[in-house]
Amino acid sequence: MPERTVVIASSSGLHARPAKIFVQAAARQGTPVRIRVGDGTPVPANSMLGVLALGATHGTAVTLDAEGPGADEALDALAEVLARDLDADESPGRSAGGGAGGNVHG
């Protein structure tokens, strides 16, 4: 199963606005993606409550996983979203391609 580990770049972590942007991006993917912190239980990446319950703060490493057609592309797109400071991103509709790719490990 493909995985990506990425460090949360948003200064407030995956809370409020950054979590909403991430969950919406996950919902647009063509394959189900899960997210977890450390060895914790993975939650659906398109679940706002699940993502908020992770308690992922700035600098937390999270792991994304997916199976099926398009899994690698979905993981790459979502990893790029998390590698950006979504608190500073003034246009949430932007594509996920403009991030700090140095924080993504696959």
Mean pLDDT, residues 17-36? 97
Residues 88 and 17: their CA atoms lie apart, in Å, by 11
pTM for this one? 0.83
pLDDT at residue 101 greater than cutoff 90: no
Residues 75 and 89: their CA atoms lie apart, in Å, by 20
Residues 23 and 39: their CA atoms lie apart, in Å, by 21
CA distances from 22 to 69, 91 (A): 21, 13
Known catalytic residue at 15: yes
pLDDT digits (tens, 9 = 90+) for 27-47: 999 899 999 999 999 999 999
pLDDT digits (tens, 9 = 90+) for 64-92: 999 999 999 999 999 999 999 998 865 44
Q: Which of 4, 6, 13, 15 is catalytic?
A: 15
pLDDT at residue 103 greater than cutoff 60: no
Could you please report the per-residue DSSP string of 49-78? HHHHHT-PPTT-EEEEEE-STTHHHHHHHH
What H or E segment, with its residue span, contains residue 2? none
Please, what is the average pLDDT of the chain? 88
